[in-house]
Amino acid sequence: MAQAYLSLYDILGDGEKKNFMADVLTQTERISKIINNLLDFSRQKKQELTKSEPKGIIERSIALVSNQIKISNVKLHKFLRPGLPQIYVDAPQIEQVLVNLLINAIQAMPAGGDLTINVGQDMKNGYLVIKVKDTGAGISKEDLPHVFDPFFTTKGTKGTGLGLSVSYGIIRQHHGEIAVDSEDGRGTTFTVKIPIYQPKERETDAQPDRDH
């Protein structure tokens, strides 16, 4: 991103320069969070779970990559089902997962394309369902089984191979699921499933043991 900023510096207005620098700072902080999460996983740090509105999490995640969407000739399509249920999550961690998926999608479309975020629910199984789809290069059959492996990357020297691995760990810690569907040359779809907040269950879990 810093390289993109330097190449566009002379044609950007003052406001755009400020936005770019803010985005650079945000992404630097995101990288720091990824590293901290790897350390946290090894230390089994307790998550800070709260009732959260999915719409707010989605909107904040999109805002963090809005500049990259603009300069990448990517068209964003967002579909949020009305009346989405609350989820019980560490909101910054879920935002981290979504930002990583969005950045991966943008980088998979160097010549531009369509980025679609579709948020709905699977009431039968009790999940909020988030799909992030791109129209990029796709992932080969050989690479597909390894996308969540630590340090595996298809980006060469441009990637660390940590983002998807950390994302997988975060979603699993939330008792959710993350999966990928892709075909080489035809784009990629990541599907994230997060358990819907169940007040009665949470209240029961929180009740002290009165049998003593």
Q: Which residue has the higher pLDDT, 32 or 182?
A: 182
Instruction: Note whether residue 65 is domain-resident.
Output: yes
Q: Domains in the chain: how many in total?
A: 1
| 206 confidence band (pLDDT: 50, 70, 90) | very low
CA–CA gap between residue 100 and residue 102 (Å, rounded):
5
Per residue in 81-122, pLDDT tens?
999 999 999 999 999 999 999 999 999 999 999 999 999 999
Q: How many CB atoms lie within 10 A of CB 48?
A: 10
CATH number at residue 159: 3.30.565.10
Section 128-147 average pLDDT = 92
Residue 204 has pLDDT above 50, yes or no: no
Structural domain that includes position 196: 51-201
Q: Which two tokens stand for residue 121?
A: 């629910």
Section 170-190 average pLDDT = 93
Q: Are 102 and 63 in contact (CB under 8 A)?
A: no
Q: Which two tokens stand for residue 142?
A: 């050989």
Q: What is the mean pLDDT of the chain?
A: 81
Angle made by CA atoms 55, 109, 135, in degrees to the nearest 5: 70
Instruction: Note whether residue 85 is domain-resident.
Output: yes
